Structure 1
Amino acid sequence: MEKRIIITGYGVVAKEFCKLLLSHSQSIKSMYGFYPKVTGIIGRKGMLYEAEGISLDELTSYGIGSDALTHYAEEKNIFLIPPKWNGDVLVECTPTNIETGEPGLSYMLNAIEAGMAIVSASKGAFVHSFKRIKEAARKKGVSMKFSGATAAALPTMDIGGYSLAGATITRIEGILNGTTNFILTTMTENNLSFDEALKIAQLKGIAERNPSLDVKGYDSACKILLLTNGLFETSFSLNDVQIEGIEHITKEKINEAQEKNERIKLLASVILKNEHLSLEVRPRTIQPSNPLYYVNGTNKGIVFETEEMDTICVTGGASHPRGAAAAVLKDVINLYRREL
């Protein structure tokens, strides 16, 4: 059984996803009962489409972006065409835009209307229009998965949705952004200011040139928002999250915490109390009794508190494009895997 994949956006995550398919497709067929085949990739200049499947070996040798798609098309003597939605699943990898959700939002809605399932590595459309996308998917009877958008390789949605199925989750608390955790760890271990640690993160390629989404807490807020809406069947917006970033954390505050054997971490949380959910992102001082105390560098971690299963914690998860791509592949597999 083949499953036709259409990818929107061909940046580093999409390319890593294609590389994983190139190396894993045969094992996916033997282990999970279906063969994933990329038949289309949509970029800014049009759609690269081959009904029999795009040669991922050749495509992944051309770099990223629309230029890579154009190069491939020229080598194959084919043309880029307007988008068409005749696949089984859309893998959405366009850049995150929390202001409008575009272009991912329109891509998703068009794919859903055509009866395609959705797997997304991008947060923007879900942050902007979660309720709209969810209602459209339910109306058409298609599935949507977005674990790659909620902390890349860290299996947040999987634990909350599958491992804790039937349990009453009363609190979720996590370090969901590797960039800010690296900055705080660097400040702590090297007695540096925020600006000094940020510069190191940028030189290492961990922080963006404009790090606002990370350091001001918005990336973490987007992730806890998606986790909450996905696991609690809610429709909160970003305006419902109280957000405070780390840009005002000083060397002195770090030292004060160290003197008490504590550490400052940027924590994203949702708390269920009296049947009311509250969402927040803010720097907090935590003690060694908290498992997130030991999550350092670019690593991430999440803690689930439940009434029936007590406390569950998972840490780690690669904070790089390959890790995000692997989360996307996992979602595709979980859509179609045969039951053992």
Structure 2
Amino acid sequence: MMRNHTTITSFILLGLTDDPQLQILIFIFLLITYMLSVSGNLTIIILTLVDSHLKTAMYFFLQNFAFLEISFTSACIPRFLYSLSTGDRVITYNACVCQLFFTDLCGIVEFFLLATMSYDRYVAICKPLHYMTIMNHRVCQRLIFCCWVITLFLILPPLSLGLNLEFCDSNAIDHFVCDANPMLKISCSDTWFIEKMVVVCSALILFLTLVCVVLSYLYIIRTTLRFPSAQQRTKAFSTCSSHMIVVSITYSSCIFVYIRPSAKDDMAINKGVSLLATSISPMLNPFIYTLRNKQVKQAFNNLVKRTLRFPSAQQRTKAFSTCSSHMIVVSITYSSCIFVYIRPSAKEDGHQ
């Protein structure tokens, strides 16, 4: 039997809730976390670029990880903030596909980068005399390049098949971003093969990267326990602690979301975990790395001192006057926009 198919040119993102008051709280929360995430990760990138003490492989990978965090959260959160502030939940088909591509790309590259960072810690602790030789800048660049290439190789086949899907019954996506599982559920095409491919690719990525992480830390623990002094053991574990915390948060949230793709009744829980992965984790990671890393904290203090401690009052006055115009414009722009968009459902205030 032939079915009537209507070409879908846009989707409707249902978001997290229809409660106007709760939407306001979510908007404020996400705006704060997004600004902290971008500013925190951008600070790490700047520090690793300008400070001569942060030029090792560890900080090169941390710099790339911070860039990925900014990219990942920027692919999801600003569009959702726009939807909350204006009430416009419509997203075009092309924009939805682009968002799906970049969120998957950045999210999966993070897994491979975390595995690479685990290997870097293994070399630093287990083979310290050969660390600078093994993890030279060219090797680090090649490892980053491999992370991106492998990710593209894994996501392009299912994404290409997904472009041929037909949507004839509904265009409402039960999520706050364009995610693969909700989109497959509303398709009227046969999605069995794509669903299996997504499951296989997700399981393969999680398994390969997790094995690399676990093996690296098993060797690290074995080597650390052989250190003669407790001070050396404490220093080795403190070096890895920040990375272990980030790995735990990233893997636990993503495994919970992707390991159960057919749990339709758990969509609300999955959306909550997705919110954790896209907004809270990128915000926490810079603080996790900086609060537990003396070199990063020292680099930040040095940068602040160089910025604020000018030798003469004339230089300080010149610096502040250079920024004063921009600060006034920023204050006016943000105050007006926040006043308008912080209450997206207040229709009775439209005359203001």
TM-score, normalised by the number of residues in structure 2: 0.25
The answer to which structure has the higher strand fraction is 1
More helix by share: 2
